[in-house]
């Protein structure tokens, strides 16, 4: 039986009080979360950092999605803060193989994120070294950015190139398009505003999960 798609709540904020609220909310309904980390250089926005996350001691496993210009300089701090995986952007490093190697030497899983304009062909030589690949379906850096459906065409291309790799999709995914995303055969769907900016985040998460799992098996 095919594995059901996962929904990974994505926390993006620059406010420590909002961070604490979203962490405590997420602890009540999921066991894995993505924290979006922004440096104001690779993307225009800033966010909380690893020390803010570590201070809260989240009771779930989590990964750091590094939207930063120098991902290698962040990896050790996130290991110390409790991350299980570091996902960095292909576009952020001139030699991504070096960042992949560093993250692995730290004992962490490693994922590679692709901006919408980056072709799959650019990363095919790297796929065998990765635990996951994350396709950005928005231009990164903000909650609520517009969904770019053409990115979904990359899922089949990636699956053909590396059938076993974990493929995630991130950005602009809501009730109205999540089933379509799930039908592409992705393993994970990261959702931010459609969970945490809703009146009842737990209910929103469960609804999105049901829609995605129905879509992936329908």
Q: What range does the domain containing 189 cover? A: 6-217
Distances from the Cα of 26 to the Cα of 22, 143, 190, 203, 204, angstroms? 6, 17, 13, 11, 11
**Which tens digits make up the pLDDT trace of 81-102?**
999 999 999 999 999 999 999 9
CA dist 112 and 92 (Å) reads: 10
Domain count for the chain, please give it.
Answer: 1
Residue 170 known to be catalytic: yes
**Which two structure tokens, joined as six digits, stand for 21?**
């609220």
- Whether 131 is a known active-site residue: answer no
User: Which residue among the candidates 31, 36, 39, 175 is catalytic per the annotation?
Assistant: 36
Residue 1, domain member (yes or no) = no
Under DSSP, is residue 112 helix (H, G, I), strand (E, B) or coil? Answer: strand
Contact 17, 199 (CB under 8 A): no
Query: pTM score, two decimals?
Result: 0.95
Among candidate residues 39, 52, 131, 170, the one labeled active-site is 170
pLDDT tier for residue 214 given thresholds of 50, 70 and 90:
confident
Domain membership flag for residue 87: yes
Per-residue pLDDT tens digits for 42-62: 998 899 999 999 999 999 999
Q: Say if 126 falls within a structural domain.
A: yes
pLDDT tens across 21-32, in order?
Answer: 999 999 999 999
DSSP 46: B
The CATH number for 77's domain is 3.20.20.70
């Amino acid at each position: 039986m095919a594995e059901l798609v996962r929904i990974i709540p994505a926390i993006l904020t620059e406010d420590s009080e909002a961070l604490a609220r979203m962490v405590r909310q997420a602890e009540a309904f999921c066991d894995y979360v993505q924290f979006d980390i922004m440096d104001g250089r690779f993307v225009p926005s800033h966010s909380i950092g690893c020390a803010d996350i570590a201070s809260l001691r989240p009771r779930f496993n989590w990964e750091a999605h590094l939207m930063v210009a120098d991902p290698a300089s962040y990896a050790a701090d996130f290991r110390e803060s409790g991350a299980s995986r570091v996902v960095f952007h292909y576009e952020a490093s001139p030699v991504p193989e070096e960042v992949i190697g560093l993250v692995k030497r730290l004992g962490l899983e490693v994922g590679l994120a692709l901006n919408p304009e980056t072709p799959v062909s650019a990363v095919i030589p790297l796929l065998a070294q990765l635990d996951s690949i994350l396709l950005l379906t928005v231009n990164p850096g903000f909650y609520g950015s517009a969904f770019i459906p053409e990115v979904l065409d990359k899922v089949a291309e990636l699956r053909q190139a590396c059938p076993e790799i974990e493929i995630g999709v991130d950005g602009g995914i809501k009730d109205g398009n999540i089933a379509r995303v799930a039908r592409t055969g992705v393993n994970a769907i990261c959702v931010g505003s459609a969970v945490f900016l809703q009146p009842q985040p737990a209910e929103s998460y469960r609804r999105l999960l049901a829609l995605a799992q129905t879509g992936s098996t329908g």
